[in-house]
Structure 1
Amino acid sequence: MNAPRITRVAQALSPLFVTLPTLALLSACATSAPKPESTASGEQTMVASTRTLASFKLPPEEQACYDREKEPYTAVVDAHFHPRPFGGAAIPPQELFGLFDKTSVRFVNYFGIGQVLDLKSGCTYYLDCQGVPASPSIKNDFVNGMEVVAYPHDNLHITLSMTFMDLAHPENIVQIIELYDKEYPGMFSWSGELNVMKQALVGNLHEPATFESIDGWAPFMAVLRERNIPVTLHSDLGKDEDPTKYLPLMEYLLDKYPDNKIVWAHMGLSKELTTIPPNLHVSIMKDLLDKYPNLMLDISWDVLYNAYHQWGPIFIDFFNAYPTRILPGSDFVAANTKARDQYAKELDVTGRAHKFMDDNAFRHIALGENYFRLMNLDYHAPQVCKKTGN
């Protein structure tokens, strides 16, 4: 199969950008990155928002405008959150709600872990258990559904997501969706995070999707399309020695399913791809967003931040230029072994880019307008307060 157009462009552009000094490009934000408040002991704490879930029901003009100088820069929406780990115990639901209450988050996507570690292994994290199979499963989704019903919270809007899909073997996906319809009627309104190609899981026998298996997605993608259900896909863009190695997979599925609402997790980055020149990365994202109107990107996971050490002008300009095509998220995995302040820290790191966005991008991304419109929710982002003086 010939490489699609963007792949060829990327291969041509790569030598032009590979020698650019990445840190220099990003230095404009390096010294001005905002910091959470610090306690007397020096530990950082997240500033909680005083805005309630109910306040977002009001039309924008009836809400208090959002004062960016006084209110949190972290997102109102966590569109990429895992309430259960790959294996082992999760943080109890009531504790999770307490963690959200201490931050700015009022809307959250409950992503199951689509590929669960063998229960008999005793493993919590896949990278600590190389060789232990991680297999597609309904386990996480069903537990999430039960807990959402058992532990309601009036200051948090939870979107349940189907994450069981085996994209390498899609033959029975529609039948399993029918099982969800029976057991949890009308409760699952998102799909993903689903793994197209996740290099980090290959050591746990992850089987990536192929061009042939993508063809076989048609029946379940039709169901998602008919129900207006977005799907978040994890598809590694490439690896350090070949930054666009897996781009053809993403291009192929976007060509095949242009009418589906597809969210590309982490803008294609991963721990295996940390040295791609930002110019090249952004040019690929722009080309795909221009070509596929239903594509959105999520900027979850601290890998995006750590890969470039700071969010720099290239990325902020990109977000400002495509304000309606980006979703925020933490990619937090709620293992019970984690310190309880870890969520706020990850939300802060993944939200630092918001600080430098213009007001329009901030409102659409951090304040949730993109999420509300994508989901056809009856919620509204507040207007951003106009600056006074110089």
Structure 2
Amino acid sequence: MKIHKLRAVLLPMVMALTAACQSTLSERHLTQFKPGAEQACYDRDTQPYTFVVDAHAHFRPFGGEAVPYPELIGYFQPAGVLFVNAFGIGQMFSAQSGCQRFSVCPTGEIKPTIRNDIINASNALLHPNTDVHLTLSMSFADLSEPQYVAQKMALLDDEFGPAFTWMGEVNLVKQALFDHSHRATPPQRIDDWAPFMARLRAPEGGRAPMPLSIHADIGSDQAPTKYLHLMESVLARYPENPIVWVHMGLSREQTKLDPQLHIAILSRLLDVYPNLMLDISWRVLYEAYFRHAAIREQYVAFFNRYPKRILTGSDFVAAKGYQQRDYKREVEINSRINQYLNDEAFRYIALGQNYFDLMKLDYQAPEVCK
């Protein structure tokens, strides 16, 4: 009887708190991020810890149908997200395969394609919006066959003008796709990236340098640093390109990497390469690392030490069947570590100042209230 009475008291409180949180999220608007003397400070005690920038959202699935574009655009602002990178997907099943997710298709070749980039750009032109700042990203690039990349970049520019201002997520090495004919990019091919990397550094039309988001597994639980040399080769060869290392180099194949070793690797590379940034998207980071207090403390200290080198994201894949609640869930999980950041790191990471600086946008993260 006491349990029923307690639930009767607590349930309305929980519902009210949930409603209040959702209301606060939906009250975020782009105007709050315009610089000026009238810009209000951000109260961490009363406002959400969830990120404002989703720099890693896949508008297209690995195959099959996607969430309809107008519906997907409506997912972001209610979740408190105002700035979004529209990725395609690094590699896709053929249209004839009938596969939508590689997790349920144990075999079948997955190859890079320009198809989803064309669809994303077409949708953005057909369905303009004023609630979300959208960044279109080219995700077609096959890093193992770089001789065609600059040509296809020019094709997209000819068709869509200066619409694309990012490239990625592209795969340097992604072990999750090894059963689908993907292989690590041979080191000798990295020198052949020079033409398209030059185009990214100095795009036509006076645009800012285009960041490149790279998926590059550090290794696996069996071989912790097996593929690290590949990312190091990219950074050494192209130090002037803005490069975003997605998921901090981690993956489902590497959930037991010693945090001290991982942080030491990242710190060394951040110190040597000032144009390198990390993206902390994907719930595997929370599930395998951030949810454990002792491990989380190490990463929080790391983020506080490098507050201007971290980008946020959900890694949401908009396959048909997913709904707004699924997106909100990914945002919340991928934002949990934000609660523990100091105020400087919170402003640059959770409130998006790093993204605005990287993209040279006319937006500014509010100062955190003292």
TM-score surpassing 0.5?
A: yes
1:339-374 CA-to-partner distances (Å, cap 9, x unmatched) read: 431110010000001111000000000111000010
Matched, 1:307 2:288: yes
User: What does residue 264 of structure 2 align with?
Assistant: 283
User: What does residue 352 of structure 1 align with?
Assistant: 336
User: What does residue 167 of structure 2 align with?
Assistant: 191
What's the % identity of the aligned pairs?
50
- C-alpha contact 2:28 2:77 (8 A) present in aligned 1: no
- C-alpha contact 1:230 1:263 (8 A) present in aligned 2: yes
Q: Distance in 2 between matches of 1:210 and 1:80?
A: 25
Matched, 1:126 2:95: no
The CA deviation at 1:43 is 11
* Residue 48 of structure 2, aligned match among 53, 72, 75: 72
- C-alpha contact 1:82 1:110 (8 A) present in aligned 2: yes
The CA deviation at 1:55 is 2.6
Give secondary structure in 2 for the equivalent of 1:251: helix
User: What does residue 100 of structure 1 align with?
Assistant: 76
Structure 1 or 2: larger helix share?
2
Q: Distance in 1 between matches of 2:127 and 2:326?
A: 22
The CA deviation at 1:38 is 4.9
* Residue 55 of structure 1, aligned match among 16, 32, 38: 32
1:235-277 CA-to-partner distances (Å, cap 9, x unmatched) read: 0010001111100001111000000000000000000000011
Q: Quick check: 191-200 or 98-107, which moved more?
A: 98-107
Q: Distance in 1 between matches of 2:43 and 2:287?
A: 28
Q: Distance in 1 between matches of 2:14 and 2:148?
A: 51
- C-alpha contact 2:172 2:216 (8 A) present in aligned 1: yes
User: What does residue 139 of structure 2 align with?
Assistant: 163
Give secondary structure in 2 for the equivalent of 1:171: helix
Q: Distance in 2 between matches of 1:305 and 1:190?
A: 26
The CA deviation at 1:45 is 7.6
User: What does residue 242 of structure 1 align with?
Assistant: 223
The CA deviation at 1:62 is 2.4
Q: Distance in 1 between matches of 2:196 and 2:66?
A: 30
The CA deviation at 1:83 is 1.0
User: What does residue 322 of structure 1 align with?
Assistant: 306
- C-alpha contact 1:65 1:382 (8 A) present in aligned 2: yes
Q: Distance in 2 between matches of 1:125 and 1:142?
A: 20
User: What does residue 340 of structure 1 align with?
Assistant: 324
Matched, 1:143 2:119: yes
User: What does residue 19 of structure 1 align with?
Assistant: none
TM-score (norm 1): 0.86
TM-score (norm 2): 0.91
Give secondary structure in 2 for the equivalent of 1:186: helix
Q: Distance in 2 between matches of 1:97 and 1:195?
A: 26
TM alignment of 1:35-54, pairs within 5 A: 38-39=14-15, 46=22, 48-54=25-31
- C-alpha contact 1:54 1:155 (8 A) present in aligned 2: no
Q: Unmatched 5+ residue regions in structure 2?
A: 1-12, 204-208
The CA deviation at 1:44 is 12
Q: Distance in 2 between matches of 1:150 and 1:265?
A: 30
Matched, 1:385 2:369: yes
Q: Quick check: 217-226 or 204-213, which moved more?
A: 204-213
User: What does residue 13 of structure 1 align with?
Assistant: none
TM alignment of 1:79-90, pairs within 5 A: 79-90=55-66
Matched, 1:212 2:188: yes
- C-alpha contact 1:39 1:45 (8 A) present in aligned 2: no
Give secondary structure in 2 for the equivalent of 1:120: coil
User: What does residue 242 of structure 2 align with?
Assistant: 261
What is the letter of the counterpart of residue 237 of structure 1?
I
Give secondary structure in 2 for the equivalent of 1:296: strand
User: What does residue 174 of structure 1 align with?
Assistant: 150
Cα separation, partners in 2 of 1:52 and 1:45, compared to 1, 3 Å: closer
Cα separation, partners in 2 of 1:295 and 1:200, compared to 1, 3 Å: same
- C-alpha contact 1:195 1:233 (8 A) present in aligned 2: yes
- C-alpha contact 1:233 1:262 (8 A) present in aligned 2: yes
Q: Distance in 1 between matches of 2:186 and 2:38?
A: 49
Q: Distance in 2 between matches of 1:275 and 1:101?
A: 35
Q: Distance in 2 between matches of 1:349 and 1:44?
A: 18
- C-alpha contact 1:49 1:71 (8 A) present in aligned 2: no
Q: Distance in 1 between matches of 2:342 and 2:145?
A: 43
Q: Distance in 1 between matches of 2:61 and 2:20?
A: 25
The CA deviation at 1:206 is 1.1
Write out the 4+ residue segments of structure 1 that deviate beyond 3 Å after TM superposition: 37-40, 42-47
- C-alpha contact 1:266 1:298 (8 A) present in aligned 2: yes
What is the letter of the counterpart of residue 48 of structure 1?
L
The CA deviation at 1:201 is 0.6
User: What does residue 201 of structure 1 align with?
Assistant: 177
Q: Unmatched 5+ residue regions in structure 1?
A: 1-36
The CA deviation at 1:58 is 2.6
